[in-house]
Amino acid sequence: MGRPNAGKSTLTNAIVGQKIAITSNKPQTTRHVIRAVLHRPDAQLVLVDTPGLHRPRTLLGERLNDLVRATWSETDVIGLCIPANEPVGKGDTFIAGEIAGLKATVVAVVTKTDLVDKKTLAEQLLAVNALGEFADVVPVSAVANHQLETLVDVMVKHLPRSPQLYPDSMLTDEPEHVLIAEMIREAALEGVRDELPHSIAVLVEEIIPEDGLTKVYADVYVERQSQKAIMIGAKGSRLKEVGTKARADIQELLGTKIYLDLHVRVAKDWQRDPRQLRRLGF
């Protein structure tokens, strides 16, 4: 866990060696609790990727924070992600204080170490160490694959003994339609204006498997008519780009050819509307 954009989802994907959680440089990219499973001969590590804890401005934001806090009570080890390339801030201090009283073992994970020099990293490690009582402090880079094995060894060391929770073949317990919706949303987040990412939601209406082809029907929701125009683009160019990128990711996920049918719809102020939030899965 950590504040938005601390590298949580990128780290999760790098550890399990497959794309499970979507990534973007936009804040509030992760909106669901994603479980990714790493299988080792001596252990099974169930990584729980949470949304970034933030100051909520909408009902959606409040619900995402509630989701994060509910997840804390179910975990044995918390990896508090703090990026190496940004000063330790109020958000990090707030989260460190929030989790200090939990029964879970807390490991500080200094992410994005590939973006800083050794001197900056050393200073950041000292600053992180001063944040609280951590069982361990581990610097890593998901992009450069640096110290990921070390981090896994550290986390496994703090796990309790337990029967195996997931079968060997399972990498995530996330439903297929949710993974597909997230892949479409990830494609939609690329290159959009700063005010638009929070307003984008995706709902997969239908998945129809046929011989060697899977048909996916999905709606991309925005909050304003003007946002719909941005999402579609001139003569449908933007939506076509989104479809092309998402189709490639979904094909890799399902292992079949994909027919992807996308429509953009307006759900006015859906982030603040309980009924619409429920419909969109929040």
Q: Does residue 28 lie within any of the structural domains?
A: yes
How many structural domains does the chain have?
Answer: 2
Distance separating alpha carbons of residues 74 and 57, to the nearest angstrom:
26
Tell me if 164 is assigned to some domain. Answer: no
Looking at the structure, tell me whether residues 14 and 149 fall in a common domain.
Answer: yes
149 in the same domain as 28: yes
For residue 281, the one-letter residue type is: G
Give the model confidence (pLDDT) of 233-281 as tens digits.
999 999 999 999 999 999 988 899 999 999 999 999 998 999 998 888 8
Please check whether residues 28 and 135 belong to one and the same domain.
yes
Residue 170, domain member (yes or no): no
21 and 153 in a common domain = yes
Q: So what's the pLDDT on residue 194?
A: 64
The verdict on 143 and 14 lying in the same domain is yes
Same domain, 128 and 183: no
**Can you give the pLDDT at residue 68?**
83
Decide the pairing of beta strands 77-83 and 44-49: unpaired
State the CATH number of the domain containing residue 260.
Answer: 3.30.300.20
Query: CA separation (Å) from 209 to 181, 214, 245, 248?
Result: 16, 4, 20, 17
For the segment 89-146, what is each residue's pLDDT rounded down to a tens digit? 999 998 999 888 889 999 999 999 999 999 999 999 999 999 999 999 999 999 999 9
- Do 40 and 152 fall within a single domain? yes
How many whole angstroms separate alpha carbon 24 and alpha carbon 193?
Answer: 13
**230: nearest Cα among 177, 280, 190:** 190
Are residues 137 and 18 located together in one domain of the fold? yes
> Which domain-ending residue is among 130, 157, 184?
157
- Residue 89 in any domain: the answer is yes
pLDDT in tens, 3-26: 888 898 899 989 998 888 767 766
Is 132 within a domain?
Answer: yes
* Residues 31 and 86 occupy one common structural domain: yes
Position 28 scores a pLDDT of 62
* Whether residues 140 and 84 fall in one domain: yes
171, part of any domain: no
118 and 218 part of one domain: no
Structural domain harbouring 135:
8-157
Domain boundary pick from 157, 187, 211: 157
Instruction: Establish if 220 belongs to a structural domain.
Output: yes
For residue 3, being part of any structural domain is answered with no
Task: Indicate which CATH number applies to the domain containing 94.
Answer: 3.40.50.300
Say how far apart CA 280 and CA 182 lie, in whole Å.
12
CA–CA distance, 107 with 137 (Å, rounded to integer) = 6
* Last residue in a domain, options 92, 123, 157: 157
Q: Are residues 85 and 184 in the same domain?
A: no
Confidence of residue 27 (pLDDT cuts 50, 70, 90): low
